[in-house]
């Protein structure tokens, strides 16, 4: 069924969103931003023509909403294909459970997710500090003339930082995040823009995300460091005791049964399995964190 040609930017964007129904919200945000930016620039460049006439004029250059949506879907599929990890030598179904368990070491997302867990403590502290300090100073300056401008600047800053956090999330976990901000819309008065920003639920969910990242960052960092150290310590137990018996290092082991070869082998095997489980856990946490970021930082389509 053919759709009537849009006669306004809002109608064009509505048709574009409808054509992209079911796609990733981050993709929809990028597509609608690009379309609105281009359409408003063209309308501003033709002040002598009506909005409907300009849309009809550029229909053959930029494309109808359905054509633009198809182009974005095709481009997104190509990008995902290009970024997809290389196929494994053997089919997953033909491998044993133990092979699939240890194949985590060949998954780059496990390493980047583990790095994100270690980095999250620093980013969590920064985000929490910005959020809490901004809120406190906004309340403190509310009685002064600079209070409102400061609060609005603070809100704008956290929205910009949130876009950068999305790019970090995508780089670490592979979850598609926006590459464009939400378009401010048509030229309107200052009060209207402020009202639209304050009514946007993403403003407040972004603030909640920043505050939440401190406890999550502490948890992620603790789990990552503890898991890595326990695994490496267990694996290194046997070589350390062997070096001690060769008088190459000085180590005290009490009680003595802890230094027996059978026990050390068991501990070493446990360490290998434990460290592998940590890698699986890191990848899982990275996926959950990406879903949380998608939920709180991306405008629902």
148-170 pLDDT per residue, tens: 889 989 998 998 899 999 999 99
pLDDT of residue 215: 97
C-alpha torsion 211→216→217→218, nearest 10: 110
Name, of 15-29, 94-108, 147-161, 213-227, the range with top average pLDDT. Answer: 213-227
Q: What is the pLDDT of residue 209?
A: 96
pTM, rounded to two decimals: 0.78
Which residue reads 């400061």 in tokens? 150
Confidence at residue 283, expressed as pLDDT on a 0 to 100 scale = 95
pLDDT tens per residue, range 88-146: 555 454 568 888 889 999 999 999 999 999 999 999 999 999 999 999 999 888 888 88
Q: Which residues, in sequence order, are CB contacts of 259 under 8 Å at separation 6+? A: 241, 244, 253
Closest CA to 252 of 244, 261, 263, 260: 244
Q: Are 3 and 57 in contact (CB under 8 A)?
A: no
Q: How far is CA 226 from the centre of its chain?
A: 24
Alpha carbon distances (Å) from 159 to 127, 131, 182, 205, 282: 12, 11, 10, 10, 27
* pLDDT score at 48: 82
Question: Tell me, what's the pLDDT at 279?
Answer: 96
User: What residue ranges in 92-178 does DSSP mark as E strands?
Assistant: none
| 289 touches 249 (CB < 8 A) | no
136-163 per-residue burial string, b: 16 or more CB within 10 A, e: under 16: eebeeeeeeeeeeebbbebbeebbebbb
Residues 235 and 268 sit within 8 Å (Cβ to Cβ) = yes
Residue of 292 and 10 predicted with greater confidence: 292
| Interatomic CA distance for residues 152 and 157, integer angstroms | 9
Q: Any idea which of 2-11, 16-25, 73-82 has the lowest mean pLDDT?
A: 2-11
Percentage of the chain modeled with pLDDT above 70? 84
What's the CA gap between 78 and 83, in Å, rounded? Answer: 9
**Residue 278 in tokens:** 């940590």
What is the percent of the chain where pLDDT is above 90?
Answer: 33
Q: What secondary structure letter does DSSP report for 21?
A: T
Domain ranges of the chain: 1-76, 109-297
């Amino acid at each position: 069924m053919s759709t009537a040609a849009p006669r306004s930017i809002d109608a064009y964007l509505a048709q574009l969103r409808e054509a992209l129904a079911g796609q990733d919200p981050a993709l929809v945000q990028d597509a609608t931003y690009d379309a609105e930016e281009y359409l408003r620039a063209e309308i501003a460049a033709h002040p002598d023509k009506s909005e409907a006439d300009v849309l009809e004029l550029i229909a053959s250059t930029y494309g109808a909403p359905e054509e633009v949506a198809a182009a974005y879907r095709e481009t997104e599929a190509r990008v995902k294909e290009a970024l997809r990890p290389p196929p494994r030598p053997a089919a997953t179904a033909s491998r044993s459970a133990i092979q699939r368990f240890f194949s985590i070491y060949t998954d780059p997302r496990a390493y980047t997710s583990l790095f994100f867990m270690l980095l999250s403590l620093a980013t969590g502290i920064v985000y929490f500090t910005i959020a809490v300090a901004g809120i406190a100073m906004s309340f403190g300056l509310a009685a002064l003339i600079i209070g409102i401008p400061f609060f609005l600047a603070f809100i704008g800053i956290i929205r910009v930082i949130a876009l950068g956090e999305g790019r970090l999330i995508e780089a670490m976990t592979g979850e598609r995040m926006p590459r464009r901000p939400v378009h401010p819309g048509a030229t309107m008065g200052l009060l209207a823009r402020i009202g639209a920003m304050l009514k946007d639920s993403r403003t407040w969910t972004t603030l909640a995300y920043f505050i939440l990242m401190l406890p999550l960052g502490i948890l992620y960092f603790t789990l990552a460091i503890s898991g890595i150290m326990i695994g490496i310590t267990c694996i290194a137990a046997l070589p350390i005791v062997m070096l001690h018996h060769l008088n190459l290092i000085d180590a005290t082991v009490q009680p003595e049964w802890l230094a027996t070869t059978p026990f050390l082998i068991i501990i070493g095997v446990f360490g290998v399995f434990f460290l592998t489980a940590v890698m699986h856990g890191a990848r899982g946490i990275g996926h959950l964190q990406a879903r949380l970021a998608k939920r709180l930082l991306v405008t629902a389509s």
